[in-house]
Amino acid sequence: MSVILTACKNSRQRAIERALKRRAEKRRKKQAAATAAASLAAELAIPDDTKSLKVWTFLLNGKPNSVVLHLDTLDVTCNGEDTDSQSEFVDGGSKVSFWLGDHNAQIITEAAPSRSHKLIYTLAIDGYVVPD
């Protein structure tokens, strides 16, 4: 009987250790991604004023890119250069269209589903959504 109880205890302990290792690995990956994003933002000299800007940093064709939306004017800056953009109203929000090199890009603005009076900004390049 004690052999069975010891085996169950050891099995449970191994399961807990595996879960803790997975959690630690997940944290390491998250920290590495945050560090990479911060270094990319520093490399592209993105300002840190987050109240009037929405910033996306990402790799496109293996090259670092940044898109900055100025929330007060809806101007778009790509890789530090102002771009020609077209703004239009669509159902449920607005859409800003511009070119990022040879790629068609759009920033779609929608109202948040809750009553918090917040706006959700989504960047899509060639129809693919870029994560925040």
Q: Is there a contact between 63 and 78 (Cβ–Cβ < 8 Å)? A: no
Sequential pLDDT tens for the chain (132 residues):
555 556 666 778 888 888 888 888 888 877 777 676 666 666 655 555 567 889 999 888 888 889 999 988 889 999 889 899 998 988 888 999 999 989 999 999 998 887 777 889 999 999 999 987
* Whole-number pLDDT of residue 5: 55
The domain made up of 53-130 is a member of CATH 3.30.70.2610: no
19 burial (CB, 10 Å; 0-12 / 13-18 / 19+) is exposed
Which pLDDT does position 28 carry in this prediction?
84
This prediction has a pTM of 0.61
Task: Please tell me the distance from the alpha carbon of residue 104 to that of residue 126, in angstroms, as a whole number.
Answer: 5
Domain edges within the chain: 1-45, 53-130
